[in-house]
Amino acid sequence: MSGFNTRAIHSGEEQKVFDAVTTPIFQTSNFLANDDKYLSETSETLYTRVGNPSIGVLERKLSDLFGGKGGVFFSSGMGAITTVFLTFLKSGMNLVISKNVYGGTQSLIAELPGMGIEVRRFDQSKLEDLANLVDYNTAIVYVESMTNPNLVLSEIENISQITKKSGALLIVDNTFLSPYNFRPLEHGADVDIQSLSKYVNGHSDVIAGFAAFSEGDSEKLVRQKMIRLGTNGAPFDAFLVS
């Protein structure tokens, strides 16, 4: 499968159940444990907060479309942002974030200083400001590829050159461009976060989020945090997005 449209329809759906053309909705909270393999904390057939076949299909599909090496499905875009932040930000670290970001994200970062996390803001049109703010205690640099709602574009490749020097993760909210128009992971980002409620879902009947990763270790860490926080998406929502 090479074309974007073909992959959007078929990617991730290799395992057919009873030869169903459309992946069924596995609307169940848990699964029968017939042997030890079902008890793995990464199993899609243990407990739906941990994994679910309907969710697994969507995660593989979106990871492919986003150009990632893994992805995690969340109950909302803010659920995705919060879980990723709490995975990588610890007391004593700092977050460097564009001044021009979504209001929900602004509300979230207002709580971080109370956790011992410093928040530093920069003007994304002045990358020299970013270079001066990033240091070796910077865990995350966060920008939106096209800002919500002001539609200001970020220079992702140039920003990634700065973050790589310090070892900070570059996390990009790509909601307003979608993977059809732009894929941040192909331009140096470490994590691509999107609210699926907007363009990816496209029909205003679901609240959901997704994070795709440039490498598998980060995906595993975020998935474990998602399981512990309970920010997982639901099977029916995964079906609606798929």
Instruction: Write out pLDDT tens, residues 28-69.
Output: 998 887 766 556 555 777 889 999 999 999 999 999 999 999
pLDDT value of residue 12: 65
Give catalytic status of residue 135 as yes or no: no
Give catalytic status of residue 173 as yes or no: yes
Instruction: Write out pLDDT tens, residues 146-178.
Output: 999 999 999 999 999 999 999 999 999 999 999
Annotated active-site residue in 7, 198, 199, 220: 198
Give catalytic status of residue 237 as yes or no: no
Domains belonging to the chain, first-starting first, are 29-241 (3.40.640.10)
Give catalytic status of residue 120 as yes or no: no
Q: Give the sheet arrangement for strand 94-98, strand by strand.
A: 71-74, 209-213, 191-195, 169-173, 138-144, 94-98, 118-122
pTM for this prediction: 0.91
Annotated active-site residue in 47, 61, 64, 102: 102
Annotated active-site residue in 47, 61, 173, 183: 173
How far does the chain reach from its first CA to its final CA, in angstroms? 17
Annotated active-site residue in 7, 49, 60, 120: 49
Q: What percent of the chain has pLDDT over 90?
A: 80
